[in-house]
Amino acid sequence: MDPFELLRLNLLSPVVLAFALGLVATAVKSDLKFPDELYTALSIYLLLAIGLKGGAELARTSLAVFWRPAVVTVGLGVLTPIIAYVVARRAGRLAVADAAALAAHYGSVSVVTFFAALGFLEALGVPAEPFLPTLVALLEIPAIMVALAIAHRQLTRTSWGTIAHEVIAGRSVFLLLGGLVIGYLAGADGLERVRPLFVDLFQGVLLLFLLDMGMVAARRLRDLRQTGPFLVAFAVVVPILHGLLGTALGRVAGLSVGGATVLGVLAASASYIAAPAAVRIALPQANPSLYLTAALGLTFPFNLTIGIPLFYVVARAMGA
């Protein structure tokens, strides 16, 4: 299948079209709006569902298969925030706090982009390793910690205990880790008992969530007039660099084409749940318009439409 056909299939997938509908709803000033409570419920469901499925499969996975991807993922969690910080400071000439805040977001993970990547592979019939949800947490936690460590010496006296608690106890990481533990202990037989809710309904709930994300992203796009052309370039170029690095290292670590694609997508994505919470605590002087507009208004739709099929093509080109 050629790259243009992959791009067409991705753009016409239900979740991407739902995201586009959210963009249109905001553009035409529709009164469509999700209650905050519904957004919270949908995000809790998605995070817990992916954790449960990943934990159940991890229970059946040999350590010999898992350890190399795990080591590579932690390495990415250290390297990607450093790359993002250097680019933001040297090319963008941003202040230390703003550069570190961007680094935290671009070293961390968008779980929704991860969901979309899995859906893309499922639509193509491409298998991926079942332990991939574990890599989400392995990438997110060190990435945020490294980014904040860069700024810690000069800008903040926030204790490492406070920062670590904010990252680990935050909704995304806590639910992912909790779901992984439950799924691991319950195993595949336990997962079967809740399959109608946490497996069969997953894609439908994801579609609703992406509809809401489209409306949120459209509102962030309005901030582009304040952030300038550098942020636009940063929000596209850095994810491509991180994604290519993640895809290549995934193949080196022995991941399948599908697994390497997902690791590339994880490396290319930017957090807008866990990272903002941690940054608000550790770097209150950082400008939210910079990191939220970049992560949610620019990088998220880029990866959703172009990044996912791009990294799949790269992974496939590296050999099956």
Which CATH number covers residue 201? 1.20.1530.20
**Is 136 within 8 Å of 108 (Cβ atoms)?**
no
Helices (H), 253-318: 257-268, 274-282, 288-292, 300-302, 308-317
Q: Which residue range forms the structural domain that includes residue 230?
A: 33-206+216-317
Q: Is the pLDDT of residue 174 over 90?
A: no
The pLDDT of residue 270 is above 60? yes
Total count of domains within the chain: 1
**Has residue 6 been placed in a domain?**
no
As a whole number of angstroms, the distance between CA 208 and CA 215 comes to: 11
Q: Do the domain assignments include residue 17?
A: no
Mean pLDDT of 308-315: 95
The reply to whether 11 falls in a domain is: no
Q: Which pLDDT score, from 0 to 100, does residue 320 have?
A: 52
Output the pLDDT for position 154: 63
Q: Would 276 be classed as within a structural domain?
A: yes
Does 311 reside within a domain?
yes
pLDDT digits (tens, 9 = 90+) for 30-87: 999 889 888 788 888 887 887 888 788 778 878 888 899 999 999 999 999 999 999 9
In a domain? residue 224: yes
pLDDT band at 277 (very low <50, low <70, confident <90, very high): low
Q: What would the two tokens of residue 198 be?
A: 């946490």
What's the Cα-to-Cα distance from 1 to each of 6, 62, 260, 295, 316, rounded to whole Å?
7, 32, 18, 30, 11
Domain-embedded: residue 92: yes
As a whole-number percent, the residues of the chain with pLDDT over 70 amount to 93
* 295 in any annotated domain: yes
